[in-house]
Amino acid sequence: MSLSGKTALVTGGSRGIGKAIVQTLARAGAKVAFVYHSNTAAADALINELKAEGHEVVGYQADAASKPDADRIVEEICEKWGGIYVLVNNAGIIKDGLLATMTAENWSAVINTNLNGVFNYCQAVTRPMMSARSGRIINISSVAANFGNPGQSNYAASKGGIEGFTRCLANEVGRRGITVNAIAPGFISTDMTEAIRNAAEDTIKKQIPLRRLGNPEDIAAAVLYLASDGASYVTGNVLTVDGGLTLGAGM
């Protein structure tokens, strides 16, 4: 699944799932730009690692919730590399809490980053992709969109919104040769899930038919598939990568 000669943009790309996606796309031959929010040390380390392997990669520090930042970054990448073939919207945060005590700030922060960020970057890349009559848009959702976990109304709303958005956009741009899909990870070993894993990892594993948590590389492999020529007839779908968690086995 070579991406040689292609260009890619990944949001939330310096750590966890985003980092694995950047590494995987670069090692498949793509020129990769990624957006990160604040961890400059992690971003620089990733850039240095991939450049040492001979890959072309660049990082942009920005807030995924900022529309001006998204427009600027996409414009700069298009000027630098002539366009963007793959967009992966991975930037996301959690601010869990029961709705009765959730602050408006925590609600808005999650919606602005997780859902509005997808809008920002999809809108920014749509025009150059439509002009090129090709492109792959991949939005990272979550099984939480359908689980209804207590304390995650903001997170579940943002991820459910991503899935509906994905289907609508796929319908709008398919005639221009652009595919739009989402990936819904289950429990993945990242910094974001550390607190949950520390509290209940053994219990979680018993609910997963494969009896293990996912790795960021599991999600990156799914991204690579959807970005490849092998998925050229796949659009408007949500690919669940959860080790079978949503089958309900062991629950």
DSSP string, 170-213: HHHHGGGTEEEEEEEE-SB-SGGGHHHHHHHHHHHHHTSTT-S-
For domain 7-242, the question of CATH label 3.40.50.720 is answered with: yes
- Collapsed DSSP state (helix, strand, coil) of residue 136: strand
- Rounded to 10°, the helix 153-173/117-132 angle is 10
Q: How far apart are CA 108 and CA 230, in angstroms?
A: 37
Q: How far is CA 174 from the centre of its chain?
A: 20
Q: How far apart are CA 26 and CA 117, in angstroms?
A: 23
Position 122 scores a pLDDT of: 98
Position 192 scores a pLDDT of: 65
Tokens describing residue 235: 């659009």
Q: How far apart are CA 202 and CA 192, in angstroms?
A: 17
Q: Of 97, 106, 58, nearest to 80 (Cα)?
A: 58
> Which region, left, alpha or beta, applies to residue 88 given φ > 0 means left and ψ of -120 to 50 means alpha?
beta
Residue type, 232: S
Residue 141: CA atoms inside 13 Å, Cβ hemisphere, count? Answer: 29
Position 249 scores a pLDDT of: 45
- Collapsed DSSP state (helix, strand, coil) of residue 133: coil
pLDDT, one tens digit for every residue, the chain (251 residues): 899 999 999 999 999 999 999 999 999 999 999 999 999 999 999 999 999 999 999 999 999 999 999 999 999 999 999 999 999 999 999 999 999 999 999 999 999 999 999 999 999 999 999 999 999 999 999 999 998 889 999 999 999 999 999 999 999 999 999 999 999 999 998 776 565 655 566 778 888 999 999 999 999 999 999 999 999 999 999 999 999 999 874 33
Position 203 scores a pLDDT of: 79
Position 250 scores a pLDDT of: 39
pTM (global) more than 0.75: yes
Q: Could you give the dihedral angle defined by the CA atoms of residues 172, 86, 156 and 144, in that order, rounded to the nearest 10 degrees?
A: 120
Q: Are the CB atoms for 14 and 192 separated by under 8 Å?
A: no
Q: Are the CB atoms for 137 and 125 separated by under 8 Å?
A: yes
Active site residues: 155
Q: How far apart are CA 198 and CA 33, in angstroms?
A: 33
Q: N- to C-terminal Cα distance for the chain?
A: 36
Which sequence spans correspond to the domains of the chain? 7-242
